Amino acid sequence: MSNSPSTEQSDKTGKTRQLLGMKGAAPGEKSIWKIRLQLMKPITWIPLIWGVVCGAASGGGYTWTPEDILRAVTCMLLSGPLMAGYTQTLNDFYDRELDAINEPYRPIPSGAISVPQVVTQIVLLLLAGIGVAYGLDQWVGHEFPTLTCLTLFGAFLAYIYSAPPLKLKKNGWLGNYALGASYIALPWWAGHALFGDLNWTIVILTLIYSLAGLGIAVVNDFKSVEGDRQLGLKSIPVMFGVGTAAWICVLMIDIFQAGIAGYLVSIHQNLYAAILLLLIVPQITFQDMYFLRSPLENDVKYQASAQPFLVLGMLVAGLALGHAGI
C-alpha cells in the first residue's frame, strides 16, 4: 500500500529539515555528504552571510564591480559554510551526549557518521577557513592580516564555547553572548575590514548590537530545556523558567536594537534611525503573537516571522554607519 500524499509530504519536510540542521528532522539519511552537510547546519549560515553584507555597508568602500562582488562572496563563504560549518560541527561533536537526549536523530548520536570522520571534517573546515581568510588579506593588500586574525579568534571562541573545560555554553549569559557576538559582530568586522578600516567605534557598536544577538541565541535554548536540565547546563530557560526566559529574550532584542537607533540619532542619521525604529514594531507584534504566548511550541514560527525585521534593521544600521563615515 502506497503512502498517502500527506505522509510523503511529511517525509520530504523532515528530510529537508534534517539537511538544513533544523529541529524536527527525519532520521535515516544514508548519503555521507548529506550527513556532513547536516552537521554544518546550513540554516545557521544565513545570519553570518548577512553580517558580512552589513559590514560591507558600514565599511563604505564597497562598489558594484565584479572584483568587489567576488571579494564579498568569498568573505560570505568564509563566514558561512566554512567557519559557521566548523563551529556547528565542533558543537555537535562536544554535544553528542546532550543530542542523544534532545535530538537523537542528529548524525553523531544516531551513528550515521563516526567520530574520526567528524574530527576530520572539523580540521578541514578550520584549515580551509584560515586559508581563505589569508587569501582575502593578500587580495585587498592588508599590511596586518586582519581577516586571518578574526578567523583565528572566531575559531578559538567557537572552541571555548563548545569544549571543556570552559564550555561557555554551560553558562546561559556568557554562552549566549558569545554566540550572539559570533553571529553579529565577527562577520560584521570581516565585511567592514574587507571594504574599509576596522576601528574601535565599529567594534564597540557591534558588540553592543550583539546583546540583541544574545536574545536570538536564547531562542535556540528552548528546544533543549529538558536535556540541558539533565546535564546541568545553566541555560536561560533552565535558570529562570520558560516564561521569564521568553521575556528576557524579546527585551534583549528590542532594547538594544532601539539603543542602536538612539546612537544613529546622535550622529545625525535620523532617517535611518526612524526606519530602524519602525522595523521594531512588527517585531514586537510577532513576539506577542507567537513567542511570549508559547515559546516552546512557536520558537521556529517566531524566528521565521520576527527575525527578518531584526536583520533588515542590521543592514539599515550598517548603511547609516557607512553614510556617516564611521
- Within a domain: residue 14? no
Distance between CA atoms of 281 and 56, rounded to whole angstroms? 26
What mean pLDDT is reported for the chain? 89
pLDDT digits (tens, 9 = 90+) for 267-285: 999 999 999 999 999 999 9
Distance of CA 292 to the CA centre of its chain: 22
pLDDT at residue 302 greater than cutoff 80? yes
What is residue 89's predicted lDDT score, i.e. its pLDDT? Answer: 97
If you average pLDDT over residues 80-103, what whole number do you get?
91
Mean pLDDT lowest among 1-15, 180-194, 224-238, 282-296: 1-15
pLDDT at residue 10 greater than cutoff 90? no
Which has more pLDDT, 9 or 312? 312
HSE-up of 316 (CA within 13 Å, CB side)? 25
The cell numbers describing 3, all together, are 503512502
- Within a domain: residue 237? yes
Mean pLDDT lowest among 32-46, 90-104, 213-227, 277-291: 213-227
- Within a domain: residue 270? yes
- pLDDT tier at 55 (50, 70, 90 boundaries)? very high
If you average pLDDT over residues 145-164, what whole number do you get?
96
Phi, psi (rounded to 5 degrees) for 166: -70, -55
- Within a domain: residue 10? no
- Within a domain: residue 190? yes
The cell numbers describing 285, all together, are 507584534
Distance between CA atoms of 64 and 69, rounded to whole angstroms? 6
What is residue 29's predicted lDDT score, i.e. its pLDDT? Answer: 65
If you average pLDDT over residues 222-244, what whole number do you get?
84
pLDDT at residue 1 greater than cutoff 50? no
- pLDDT tier at 12 (50, 70, 90 boundaries)? low
What is residue 86's predicted lDDT score, i.e. its pLDDT? Answer: 98
| Percent of the chain surpassing pLDDT 90 | 66
Highest mean pLDDT among 13-22, 171-180, 264-273: 264-273
Domain holding 275: CATH number? 1.10.600
If you average pLDDT over residues 68-86, what whole number do you get?
97
- pLDDT tier at 195 (50, 70, 90 boundaries)? very high
pTM flag (> 0.85)? yes
| Residue 306: domain span | 29-324
- Within a domain: residue 291? yes
List beta partners, residue 169: none
- Within a domain: residue 13? no
- Within a domain: residue 18? no
Domain count, the chain: 1
What is residue 5's predicted lDDT score, i.e. its pLDDT? Answer: 54
pLDDT at residue 231 greater than cutoff 90? no
